[in-house]
Structure 1
Amino acid sequence: MASTRAFMSEPNSEGYAASKGGIIALTHAMAISLGQLGIRVNSITPGRIETKDYENLSFSDHAQHPANRVGKPVDIAKACFYLTDFENDFVTGQNIVVDGGMTKKMMYEE
């Protein structure tokens, strides 16, 4: 599991950002090394996933995402099921970002 912190950061998060970026790099390197053995290697990069009080999130929490909602654990589970399905055996070395489009949206403070 990687994190969108590999692509965007807050102050004082250098170690975490580097570790998550490393997972993405390790993913594609291992896919090349292990592909000849028939082993696929992929990673998932979750964005904001609310695991507790989803009903208490504000309109602005949801509006930050082009998908118009904050993610749920089931969104990550669906990506895991996709990657582990043998029908998808042509997918390897990929990092799948599951963030409702948030890392693609420019946000400026007013």
Structure 2
Amino acid sequence: MNTSESPSPKAALVFGGSRGIGAAIARRLAREGYAVALTYASRADKAAEVVAAIQADGGQAIALQADAADQHAITAAVADATASLGTLHVAVVNAGVYQGGPLEQFPVDTLDLMLSVNVRGVFLAIQAAAAKMAEGGRIITIGSNTAQRSGSVGGSVYVMTKAAVAALVRELALDLAPRKITINNIQPGPIETDITAGFLDHLAERSPLQRVGRPEEVASLAAYLVSAEASYMTGASLTMDGGYSI
């Protein structure tokens, strides 16, 4: 009888893990030994690419469709992830939307959408994941450096939602502490993704380091936050923007 079988990998769920920062975090967590579930809103093809890449590296991953503004979809994604991979040890809440515009012309429908996804959806994802999380688990939200300083006209609603995330994380750290679950917020600056592809040079010119960040750099910080070395850090917002918001 073989008694030396390796234990099953711990489970991680990445909300919004099909592209950009979320995809990089999903792949990094898989390399750290986690079985990863990742959600996507509409790009099933991109999600499948991330899953295939993880599996090609010898990891375990599944993709789940879930609208970040839909409470039932969020709850179902957590249920499906735990049914397939086991009790959650890590949850990363990366889903979010950005639309800018001046105060005078800002549509109420756009305001409602951004509040629904960037604030309400973040809270619901944390709530659902925490309910299925092991003691000592880790939760990470992906906020924005704009919560500290934007310097751009038209971004007020987005900034408001990301400042709300930072405040939410700070206070939820108290709620989750009795279960030894930590929660922290990464606040990236401009990152090289398909969303920023059209104006990377402009963003780089505004940065003290004269470049934008890479998704893998954010993923490295996420890997630290889920490690044993970060077990005493909770409620923090960590800005990673090359000095952009100084």
Judge conservation of contact 2:184–2:234 (CA < 8 Å) in 1. Answer: yes
- Look up the match of 1:43: 185
TM-aligned CA deviation for residue 12 of structure 1 = 2.6
Alpha-carbon distance between aligned partners in 1 of 2:145 and 2:200, rounded to the nearest angstrom: 20
**What is the TM-score with the length of structure 1 in the denominator?**
0.80
Partner of 2:183: helix, strand, or coil? coil
The 1:13–1:68 alpha-carbon spacing in structure 2 relative to 1, beyond 3 Å, is closer
Q: Deviations over 1:83-105 (max 9, x none)?
A: 1112210111111111011111x
Runs (5+) with no aligned partner, structure 2: 1-141
Alpha-carbon distance between aligned partners in 1 of 2:205 and 2:155, rounded to the nearest angstrom: 24
How many residues in Structure 1 have an aligned counterpart in Structure 2?
Answer: 102
Q: Does 1:7 align with 2:148?
A: yes
Partner of 1:51: helix, strand, or coil? coil
Q: Report the structure number with the largest CA radius of gyration.
A: 2
Runs (5+) with no aligned partner, structure 1: 105-110
- Look up the match of 1:81: 223
- Look up the match of 1:108: none
Partner of 2:186: helix, strand, or coil? strand
Alpha-carbon distance between aligned partners in 2 of 1:51 and 1:63, rounded to the nearest angstrom: 17
Structure with the larger RCO, 1 or 2 (CA within 8 Å, 6+ apart): 1
The 1:42–1:17 alpha-carbon spacing in structure 2 relative to 1, beyond 3 Å, is same
Alpha-carbon distance between aligned partners in 2 of 1:48 and 1:57, rounded to the nearest angstrom: 8
Alpha-carbon distance between aligned partners in 2 of 1:57 and 1:21, rounded to the nearest angstrom: 24
Q: Does 1:28 align with 2:170?
A: yes
TM-aligned CA deviation for residue 80 of structure 1 = 0.6
Judge conservation of contact 2:146–2:245 (CA < 8 Å) in 1. Answer: no
- Look up the match of 1:103: 245
Partner of 1:19: helix, strand, or coil? helix
The 1:102–1:30 alpha-carbon spacing in structure 2 relative to 1, beyond 3 Å, is same
Partner of 1:70: helix, strand, or coil? coil
Q: Deviations over 1:5-59 (max 9, x none)?
A: 21223223222111100000001100112112101010000100012487x944x
Indicate the larger mover: 38-47 or 64-73: 64-73
* Letter of the 2:231 counterpart: D
**What is the TM-score with the length of structure 2 in the denominator?**
0.38
TM-aligned CA deviation for residue 70 of structure 1 = 1.1
The 1:48–1:41 alpha-carbon spacing in structure 2 relative to 1, beyond 3 Å, is same
* Letter of the 1:43 counterpart: N
- Look up the match of 2:125: none
TM-aligned CA deviation for residue 75 of structure 1 = 1.1
TM-aligned CA deviation for residue 63 of structure 1 = 4.3
